[in-house]
Structure 1
Amino acid sequence: MGNKDVKVVSFWISPFARRVEWALRLKGVDYEYIEEDIYNKSPLLLELNPVTKKVPVLIHDHKPIIESFIILEYIDETWNQYPLLPQHPHQRALARFWANFAEQKLLDHAWIAMCSSGDVQEKALNIARDAMEKIEEEIKGLKKFFGGEDIGYLDIALGWISYWLPVLEEVGSMQIIDPLKHSATIAWMNNFLSHPVIKESLPPRDEMLAYFHSRRKALSSTFQNFFKD
């Protein structure tokens, strides 16, 4: 039974929205899930997020909070159990940096690579692979997670790498994660996906493949000119 004071407006395949659910579940906060059709946006979404008109939206005490990273920090500040962000300010700053770095350099360019071919795909792949190399170096030496023995903010922020990125690779017939070069990342992925909270809240992989194949087909002409002047 969902908590009427906490609601998550989401889209089933969105890794950004999934972050919010992971954080709430790790903290043991009940919530009501509201599925949104992002291709036919509801009046509710447009009312809650008139600026970007995107999911996720967290509703707490009838007040909307938008943007997944901001929502994660709001959740961490609102519910003290199971802290997500590191306690030290420098470590908190590093976690925020790597979350944004992975989003801008790895996720964005993996998406472009999936939806393109030829030179455009190769340029995007080079950027994504370079980002993956830097993330691999950051992961080396970890215990199990960025948060130590427990999943923390950065694990949640980068969690899409463990499940969504391999799907993008398969759909785009490309490789970004190399098991030989990125062994630390592979170990972290396995630890992350084995956690009960994560394992029980992943979208079906076959449905993800079908969805991303359709998005690749729909967007291929758009991204084919991405790097051209």
Structure 2
Amino acid sequence: MADEEVVLLSVYPSLYSMRVRIALAEKDIKYELIEENLTVKSSLLLEMNPIHKKVPVLIHKGKPIVESLLIVEYIDEVFDPARRTWATMGEEQEAAKKEFIESLKILEGEIGDKTYFGGETFGLV
């Protein structure tokens, strides 16, 4: 497993695993998918989640993240273009800046002349 590689230990019918797969797809993150057999758990799963021995488990830079909501939060924070503008350097930082600016343009286009994202009144959005 390479140091920068992203690996997802998953089971196809798991809704919790699907939540993580959707988050990875939305961020366009390349990852290796390893389908687990929960009847005969792999040594990798037992090593990465020794307490609960469940999926999903996201492995990033050799470190495991468990529990689907925590994984989705991690994906959002670590792979966010705004964070990458200050956490990286060189070409990767320039690409992150461009991606972040494009995201802001999309958001600005959606807001338009409205006072708030959801309309003219303050709301949950």
TM > 0.5 fold call: yes
Map 1:136-147 onto structure 2 (within 5 A).
none
1:14-55 deviations in Å (ceiling 9; x for gaps)? 000111110011001100000100111111110000010000
Distance in 2 of aligned mates of 1:27 and 1:43: 29
Amino acid of the residue matched to residue 40 of structure 1? V
Q: CA RMSD in A?
A: 1.7
SS of match in other structure, 2:7: strand
Q: Percent identity?
A: 51
The structure where helix makes up a greater share of residues is 1
TM-score (norm 1): 0.34
Map 1:46-125 onto structure 2 (within 5 A).
46-81=46-81
Distance in 2 of aligned mates of 1:52 and 1:77: 24
Distance in 1 of aligned mates of 2:5 and 2:43: 20
Distance in 1 of aligned mates of 2:81 and 2:17: 21
Distance in 2 of aligned mates of 1:72 and 1:58: 10
CA pair 19-81 structure 1, distance change in 2 beyond 3 A = farther
2:18 is aligned to 18
1:129-166 deviations in Å (ceiling 9; x for gaps)? xxxxxxxxxxxxxxxxxxx8xxxxxxxxxxxxxxxxxx
Runs of 4+ in 1 over 6 A off after TM superposition: none
1:8 is aligned to 8
TM superposition shift of 1:78 = 0.3
1:33 is aligned to 33
Distance in 2 of aligned mates of 1:53 and 1:21: 19
- Given that residues 57 and 65 in structure 1 are in contact (C-alpha distance below 8 angstroms), is that contact kept between their aligned partners in structure 2? yes
TM superposition shift of 1:81 = 4.1
Amino acid of the residue matched to residue 65 of structure 2? I
- Given that residues 27 and 81 in structure 1 are in contact (C-alpha distance below 8 angstroms), is that contact kept between their aligned partners in structure 2? no
Amino acid of the residue matched to residue 41 of structure 2? K
1:99-149 deviations in Å (ceiling 9; x for gaps)? xxxxxxxxxxxxxxxxxxxxxxxxxxxxxxxxxxxxxxxxxxxxxxxxx8x
Distance in 2 of aligned mates of 1:81 and 1:23: 14
